[in-house]
């Protein structure tokens, strides 16, 4: 690293774009790059600070509220960012304490606005106190990891899953997630796991706990693997064999799986930009799929489909550990709007399917409105569909994810001792002839 302030300043710019300008973490990095070109280790370090801050923001703000009973004045937006970034380094990163404190003090001393500059003694005092009290603060978080989460999600999950499961889920969500790989040829699982020093998961993925640049992995250039959380790889495994339409396909992990199973696949999505990533992956893996850019709600295939995957747009709260910005950008209103879109998509797809056709519906959401409630309402609206219960033998090692109706509800706390899982809901239906 060159100048120790530069990556930290960049990290605060990322946080500013996410928290104050409502941009995604990736979008925020792109925006920050427009002001400060940043490459290599500096850029990775900045991204880690921003990611750790977002992943633990609920707890960081809890500490700030405790240390500063009057709070940070509204006009001191930069001081707020400096404090949050500094606490992330002190509490959640392996950064020397003096470097975290001194750099934060230097950043606030050089702030553009006078009010922020006036916060220099406060920043200094708060961060020094956090260094002194780190052990007791981390013990507090360990006893109640849900404190790190956005309040609205913690409240909802406590209601849906109970206080104990909320804590178990939060513990996984605030940890660094593993990297899961799906394989073009399932027979290669053991050999690739050995070569990559990973572990074989019972559902077919290879899991790496030591994070690395995926493009540098053995087998990547030859297209033998792609990144996909183990939970995200389940829906495509649950669709009976035959040609398939993937209705919300981009960026395409599930279409790749379906194509690798030897099916003819139509991969449809309304986003041409996101489908471009599927095109790249098809070229890299040597797999084939017919790509259609269209709004699913306005598209009808020439022949009524018999096999359909509907991985509907959703709040994505099940992927919070990989996308810690999600919980701070979305709200219950988004869940409501997305649940409405999901029911429209379900109805449209149900309306064009062939008799005896099978649909797998899934969402990477932990919200019952997008999963259990959605499916209950669908089956009430559409008596011409019946649930095709998913069975334990289809989900090796994941009996705990099967609910009494035969739907799948994965939680981040499943396989917690191996790094957890993204939260998914999956149901399967058959159109009754």
Ligand X SMILES: C[S@@+](CC[C@H](N)C(=O)[O-])C[C@H]1O[C@@H](n2cnc3c(N)ncnc32)[C@H](O)[C@@H]1O
Of the candidates 271, 285, 403, 418, which one interacts with ligand X according to CB under 6 A? 271
Candidates 189-197, 268-276, 401-409, 425-433: pick the segment binding ligand X (CB under 6 A).
268-276
Of the candidates 254, 307, 414, 431, which one interacts with ligand X according to CB under 6 A? 254
The three-point CA angle 16-19-22 to 5° equals: 105
Both tokens assigned to 1: 């690293």
Cα–Cα distance for residue pair 295/293, rounded to 1 Å: 7
By CB under 6 A, tell whether 180 contacts ligand X.
no
By CB under 6 A, tell whether 430 contacts ligand X.
no
* Three-state DSSP string of 169-236: HHHHHCCCCCEEEEECCHHHHHHHHHHHCCEECCCCCEEECCCCCHHHCCCCCCCCEEECCCCCCHHH
Candidates 128-136, 205-213, 214-222, 252-260: pick the segment binding ligand X (CB under 6 A).
252-260
Q: For residue 179, what are the contacts with CB-CB under 8 A and spacing of at least 6? A: 207, 208, 209, 211, 212, 214, 227
* DSSP per position, 350-401: HHHPPTT-EEEEEES---GGGTHHHHHHHHHH-TTEEE----GGGSTT-GGG
**Could you tell me the smallest distance in angstroms from the CB atom of residue 274 to ligand X?**
5
Of the candidates 126, 170, 250, 265, which one interacts with ligand X according to CB under 6 A? 250
Of the candidates 296, 308, 358, 427, which one interacts with ligand X according to CB under 6 A? 296
Of the candidates 77, 128, 129, 270, which one interacts with ligand X according to CB under 6 A? 270
**Could you tell me the smallest distance in angstroms from the CB atom of residue 313 to ligand X?**
4
By CB under 6 A, tell whether 261 contacts ligand X.
no
# chain residues binding ligand X, by CB under 6 A: 16
By CB under 6 A, tell whether 322 contacts ligand X.
no
Is 248 labeled as ligand-binding? yes
Is 252 labeled as ligand-binding? yes
Instruction: Rank residues 129 and 274 by Cβ distance to ligand X and give the closer one.
Output: 274
- The HSE-up count of residue 348 (CA atoms within 13 Å, CB side) is 18
**Could you tell me the smallest distance in angstroms from the CB atom of residue 314 to ligand X?**
6
The Cα-based distances of 276 to 72, 180, 281 in angstroms read: 44, 22, 9
By CB under 6 A, tell whether 248 contacts ligand X.
yes
Candidates 83-91, 293-301, 321-329, 369-377: pick the segment binding ligand X (CB under 6 A).
293-301
Longest dimension (CA), the chain: 73
The yes-or-no answer on residue 362 being catalytic is: no
Using DSSP's 3-state secondary structure scheme, residue 293 falls into strand
Which residue(s) pair with 425 in the sheet? Answer: 363, 409
Give the residues lining the site for ligand X (CB under 6 A).
248-254, 269-271, 274, 295-297, 311, 313
Q: Which residues are known catalytic residues?
A: 364
List the binding residues: 248-254, 269, 295, 311
């Amino acid at each position: 690293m060159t100048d120790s302030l530069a990556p930290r300043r960049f990290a605060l710019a990322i946080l500013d774009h996410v928290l104050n300008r409502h941009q995604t973490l990736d979008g925020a990095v792109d925006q920050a790059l427009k002001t400060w070109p940043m490459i290599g280790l500096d850029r990775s370090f900045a991204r880690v600070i921003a990611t750790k801050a977002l992943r633990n923001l609920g707890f960081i703000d809890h500490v700030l509220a405790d240390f500063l009973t009057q709070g940070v004045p509204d006009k001191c937006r930069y001081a707020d960012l400096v404090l949050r970034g500094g606490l992330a380094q002190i509490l959640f990163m392996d950064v020397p304490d003096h470097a975290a404190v001194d750099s934060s003090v230097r950043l606030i001393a050089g702030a553009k606005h006078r009010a922020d500059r006036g916060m220099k003694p406060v920043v200094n005092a708060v961060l020094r106190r956090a260094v002194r009290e780190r052990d007791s603060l981390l013990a507090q978080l360990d006893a109640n990891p849900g404190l790190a989460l956005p309040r609205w999600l913690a409240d909802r999950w406590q209601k849906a899953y109970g206080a104990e499961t909320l804590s178990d889920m939060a513990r996984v969500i605030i940890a660094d997630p593993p990297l899961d790989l799906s394989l073009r040829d399932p027979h290669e699982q053991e050999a690739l796991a050995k070569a990559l020093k990973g572990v074989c998961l019972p559902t077919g993925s290879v899991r790496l706990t030591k994070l690395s640049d995926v493009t540098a992995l053995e087998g990547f250039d030859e297209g033998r693997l792609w990144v996909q959380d183990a939970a995200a790889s389940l829906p495509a495994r649950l669709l009976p064999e035959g040609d398939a339409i993937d209705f919300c396909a981009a960026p395409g992990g599930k279409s790749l799986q379906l194509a690798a199973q030897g099916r003819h696949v139509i991969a449809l999505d309304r986003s041409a930009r996101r489908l471009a990533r599927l095109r790249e992956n098809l070229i890299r893996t040597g797999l084939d799929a017919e790509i259609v850019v269209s709004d699913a709600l306005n598209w009808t295939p020439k022949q009524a489909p018999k096999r359909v995957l509907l991985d509907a747009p959703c709040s994505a709260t099940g992927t919070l550990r990989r996308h810690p910005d999600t919980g701070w950008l979305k709200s219950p209103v988004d869940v409501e709007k997305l649940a409405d879109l999901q029911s429209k998509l379900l109805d449209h797809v149900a309306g064009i399917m062939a008799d005896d056709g099978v649909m797998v519906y899934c969402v990477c959401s932990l919200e019952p409105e997008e999963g259990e409630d959605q499916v209950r309402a669908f089956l009430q609206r559409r008596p011409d569909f019946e649930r095709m219960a998913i069975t334990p033998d289809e989900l090796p090692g994941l009996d705990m994810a099967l609910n009494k109706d035969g739907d799948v509800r994965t939680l981040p706390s499943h396989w917690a001792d191996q790094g957890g899982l993204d939260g998914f809901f999956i149901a399967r239906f058959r159109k009754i002839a």
